[in-house]
C-alpha cells in the first residue's frame, strides 16, 4: 500500500482553483468538486496547470482519483437531468421534446429523422402512429 503522500508527484497546481475548493481538501475531493461543477477534462486540466494528456495519465494511474472524478461528473449529470425533468413536467415544451428524443429515441424523433439521420416514413411521429400518451406510458 502506498504512503499517505502518494499524490506528491502529481503535478496538479491546486492553488489555481482556490475559489472552487477549500484549502486542505484532499485530491480526490478536489477532483470530485471539479467534476460536480460540470467541468470536463478540457477545462479541468488547464485549471490544474496540466495538459489534458497529463490529466488523463494521472487518472489512469490512480483509481481513486478516477472514481472521484467520475462521481463528480455523475453528480453534475444528475443535477442537470433533474432540472430538465422538472422543467419538462411543468409544461416546458422544449424540455419535453429534448427529454423524449433523448430518453426514448426509438419512439420519438425530431424533424422526422431517426438516430442515424435517415428520414423516417412517418415524419417523426411516434412509431406505429401511436397516440403520444401511449408513448409516454413507456416512461413510467
Q: What are the tens digits of pLDDT across the range 42-67?
A: 999 999 999 999 999 999 999 999 99
* Pair 96, 71 in one domain: no
CA distance 115 to 104: 11
Whole-number pLDDT of residue 111: 58
**Residue-range definition of the domain harbouring residue 118:** 91-140
| Model pTM score | 0.70
* Pair 2, 48 in one domain: yes
* Pair 50, 96 in one domain: no
* Pair 106, 43 in one domain: no
Cα separations in angstroms, 96 against 19, 84, 110, 113? 35, 8, 12, 17
60-96: b (≥16 Cβ within 10 Å) or e: eebeebbebbeebbebbeeeeeeebeebbeeeeeebb
**Number of domains making up the chain:** 2
φ, ψ of residue 30 in degrees (nearest 5): -60, -50
* Pair 56, 12 in one domain: yes
Domain boundary among 75, 99, 129: 75
- Cell numbers 467541468 label which residue? 39
Whole-number pLDDT of residue 102: 86
DSSP summary character for residue 15: G
* Pair 66, 12 in one domain: yes
Whole-number pLDDT of residue 66: 97
Whole-number pLDDT of residue 117: 53
* Pair 67, 23 in one domain: yes
**Residue 82 placed within a domain:** no
* Pair 20, 50 in one domain: yes
Q: Do 52 and 85 contact (CB within 8 A), yes or no? A: no
Residue 103: partners with Cβ closer than 8 Å, 6 or more residues away: 139
Q: Walk along the chain (140 residues) in steps of 10 and give the mean pLDDT of each run.
A: 67 82 88 94 94 96 96 96 95 91 79 53 50 50
Whole-number pLDDT of residue 110: 63
Rounded to an integer, what is the distance from CA 85 to the centroid of its chain?
A: 15
* Pair 96, 138 in one domain: yes
Amino acid at each position: 500500500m502506498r504512503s499517505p503522500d502518494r499524490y506528491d508527484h502529481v503535478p496538479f497546481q491546486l492553488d489555481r482553483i482556490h475559489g472552487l475548493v477549500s484549502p486542505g481538501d484532499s485530491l480526490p475531493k478536489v477532483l470530485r468538486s471539479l467534476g460536480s461543477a460540470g467541468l470536463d477534462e478540457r477545462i479541468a486540466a488547464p485549471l490544474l496547470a496540466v495538459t489534458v494528456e497529463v490529466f488523463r495519465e494521472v487518472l489512469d494511474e490512480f483509481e481513486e482519483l478516477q472514481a472521484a472524478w467520475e462521481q463528480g461528473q455523475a453528480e453534475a449529470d444528475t443535477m442537470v437531468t433533474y432540472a430538465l425533468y422538472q422543467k419538462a413536467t411543468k409544461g416546458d415544451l422544449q424540455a419535453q421534446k429534448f427529454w423524449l428524443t433523448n430518453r426514448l429515441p426509438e419512439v420519438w424523433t425530431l424533424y422526422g429523422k431517426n438516430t442515424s439521420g435517415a428520414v423516417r416514413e412517418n415524419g417523426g411521429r411516434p412509431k406505429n402512429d401511436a397516440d403520444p400518451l401511449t408513448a409516454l406510458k413507456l416512461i413510467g
